[in-house]
Copies of this chain bind each other. A is one copy, B any other.
Amino acid sequence: MATTLYQHSTVAALKAGVVAGNQTLAQLLTHGDTGIGAADQLAGDVTILDGQAYQSQANGKTQALAGTVKVPFAMVHANQPTIEQTFENVDQHVFEQQLLSLYPYQNVLVALRVTGTFATMQLAVNRSAAVTDQTAQRQFEAHNVTGTLVGYYVPSFYHGVTQTGFHLHFLNEDHRFGGHVSGYRIDTGVVQLQALNALQIVTPTHDQQFLNRRQ
């Protein structure tokens, strides 16, 4: 069973300005079919679902990306969930706390996928600002949208290597709307969980900017 979360580069490197794409999506997708990432120069967010990567722009507008496109950061895994449960009419914070209390995942990387209808979906419309300064993150809100939340729960000791806590991206059902999720309320949703026992971090040591940038 695939239990590895494969990560290209680190959040610390992004924060230090190493934001030029330095790995192709085609290469990344050899390590998984599902995940999240950042676009070249942080011009939007990347969501990977069923082996296809999508880029969401600041206004939520989303389009499929070719395998030749390079990204500066991504996390992918092979989607093989082992737990499935339905949730209805629940706010983000209650939902996330319930997941952590229902399952013994205090110190475990967990892949999370929620398919359903969301009463509200708040997206961060300026990923660049969100990475470099959380306070500058503006929000974009949609209502009664159907689609898929995809991402990870990451224990706090991975801070620095990656974003900790819940980190989710959204892709609507026709794959034309989505982005980095900052808030949501589930109307009806099926959550699928997959515990991952390994994290493989590969850093772009072929990138001169990565080698030399002070953090």
Contact = CB atoms under 8 A, between A and B. Distances in A.
A197 to B, nearest CB: 4
Interface residues of A, number: 35
A200 B199 contact: yes
What number of copies of this chain does the assembly contain? 2
A107 B156 contact: no
A203 B156 contact: no
A197 B10 CA distance: 12
A214 B201 CA distance: 24
28 contacts: A4-B200, A10-B157, A12-B155, A13-B107, A104-B212, A105-B211, A106-B211, A106-B212, A106-B213, A107-B211, A107-B213, A107-B215, A108-B205, A109-B203, A156-B215, A157-B215, A158-B160, A158-B161, A159-B159, A159-B160, A160-B160, A160-B161, A197-B203, A197-B204, A197-B205, A198-B200, A199-B203, A200-B200
Q: Which 10 A-B pairs have the closest CB atoms?
A: A12-B157, A157-B160, A197-B205, A199-B201, A104-B211, A200-B200, A198-B202, A159-B160, A10-B157, A197-B203
